Structure 1
Amino acid sequence: MKHFIIVALILLSITSCNYAQQPTSIKSELPERISNYEDWKKEAESNIRLNPKFGNAVKSEEQKEADQRLIDDYLKQQGSHHKASEVLVKLGFDYLYRGDVRTSMYRFNQAWLLEPKNENVFWGYSAVYFTLGNHEMAMEQLNEGLTLNPNSSNILTDKATIYFAKFPTSNDPKDLSAALDLLNQSYKIDSTNQNTLFKLSVVYLMKKDCKNALKYYDECNTLGGKPITKEFKTALQELCGKK
């Protein structure tokens, strides 16, 4: 039972702590919130901004002109396509953390306009789908991001999250093994990624390997322990005697 609880606690932390910032004064473009994938899919039929890369839709001249104005404005502000894209990716995650999934996707799509080959845009797309409960679509976006940058620690870690999130229902050890392989890849790329360290601790705890669960917990905690929840710390104490 504790394994189920542990997984539930970390599902909300699929997006890496690198983009987790303190709330700022952001207002949603639209007050209505979408909380499930079916509603999202229905609205996306008439709102291309809810689809990754705008659903590859053929845009009107007016839409193309608006896109170009956006690109020009952000280039003027940030000085390069990459910097501008990253600013919009961060804004996308800020909105996502506030529960405004719609505006979050708008920002990720704007980030894509600025830099179509920015792998972090696809990291953002994946986070939206994961939030809506569509893990298959989330995985598709992560895989597309990895084709652009196979060494993205953030994307590898979130791909691992999808695998171990399946474990409570699949009860298939292969899911945990796949998650662990991806997390270890991520760790080799960036051993300071707190999200990776936290989830390594989680997966090892799910595997009842207290030695490694404590090892990666301590590494994460030493770096600030940003993703660690009180509930997970309690579970680690109960199962592994962590003080």
Structure 2
Amino acid sequence: MNYYVLLLALLTGLGSGTAQAQRRSKVKIKTEAAPASAASRYQPLFGGLSVAAAEGVMGPAFLPDIARSFPSRAEASRFFSTKGYEYLTEGQLDTARYRFNLAWLLDQQNPEAYRGLGIISSRQPTPDAAITLFAQGLAIAPANAGIMSDLGASYLLRYKQTRKKKDLEQGLTYLEKATAADPANATAWQQLAQGYFLREEYPKAWEAVHQGQSLNMTSIDFDFIGELQAKLPDPRGMFK
């Protein structure tokens, strides 16, 4: 299954934000940034700018507008991260990236800002940027099973590219923690199955497949099932 699709599947159930946020779905963002700086708004975390520099890119009207529209910067940040996910599921990646950047700018302790940017960065040829962003989010919210799963899947992808055992073990560690923290996450179970497959632990891979299948059949990657069957027929005989 496409790695980006796997990450998008994790968005299910995140919700569309509070009713108050929905009422503000047409909040306008005014900017007076110089053209040379405007492009950084569409780079993850404003391209590495400091918070003060990023605020400068947004222009002097930005923070006063936020103060008039929201009771706190933290609530504004949650609003923009929610909108970021909405744009992400619609495939509007630049707009989504911009909204996640705003979420970060307003509250650097909002883990969803890093997660959203990480999911978008997973479209890059290598997962390095996504790993960095997911790790930043997990440092803020170490019990967040969704980010654990994202990070684990990213390490598995890097292992497929580098064949470094450390990446495989890191990926499995995060995915095992993710499924322990959220046993109902069918996609994480399927990702864990792929990790066990890469470690040539085929019986454990089948156990993870069946666990995910029992939760949600749509999580099944039938191309992967074919590869697993070639190594070990399904012990339960459900997949033939």
Return the TM-score normalized by structure 1: 0.71
Corresponding residue number in structure 2 for 1:223:
215
Between 61-70 and 98-107, report the one with greater CA deviation. 61-70
Corresponding residue number in structure 1 for 2:198:
206
2:98 to 106, 116, 122: 106
Aligned partner letter, 1:66: F
Corresponding residue number in structure 1 for 2:121:
129
- Report the alpha carbon displacement of residue 129 of structure 1 after superposing the two structures with TM: 1.8
Distance 2:117 2:87 in 1: 13
1:232 to 217, 224, 236: 224
1:181 to 155, 173, 177: 173
- Report the alpha carbon displacement of residue 49 of structure 1 after superposing the two structures with TM: 1.2
- For residues 36-75 of structure 1, the aligned pairs below 5 Å read 46-54=38-46, 55-56=49-50, 57-60=53-56, 63-70=59-66, 72-73=68-69, 75=70
Alignment: residue pair count: 211
- Report the alpha carbon displacement of residue 82 of structure 1 after superposing the two structures with TM: 5.9
- Report the alpha carbon displacement of residue 10 of structure 1 after superposing the two structures with TM: 3.9
Corresponding residue number in structure 1 for 2:134:
142
Q: Which runs of 5+ in 2 are unaligned?
A: 14-34
2:164 to 140, 163, 172: 172
In structure 2, the CA distance between the partners of 1:238 and 1:45, relative to structure 1 (3 Å rule), is: farther
Aligned partner letter, 1:229: D
- Report the alpha carbon displacement of residue 44 of structure 1 after superposing the two structures with TM: 9.0
- Report the alpha carbon displacement of residue 193 of structure 1 after superposing the two structures with TM: 2.0
Contact 2:213–2:219, Cα closer than 8 Å, also in 1: no
Secondary structure (helix, strand or coil) at the match of 1:131 reads coil
Q: Which runs of 5+ in 1 are unaligned?
A: 1-8, 22-42
In structure 2, the CA distance between the partners of 1:209 and 1:114, relative to structure 1 (3 Å rule), is: same
Distance 1:189 1:214 in 2: 20
What is the CA RMSD across the aligned residues, in angstroms?
Answer: 3.1
Distance 2:45 2:162 in 1: 32
Distance 1:67 1:90 in 2: 19
Distance 1:93 1:175 in 2: 28
Distance 1:91 1:70 in 2: 15
Larger Rg: 2
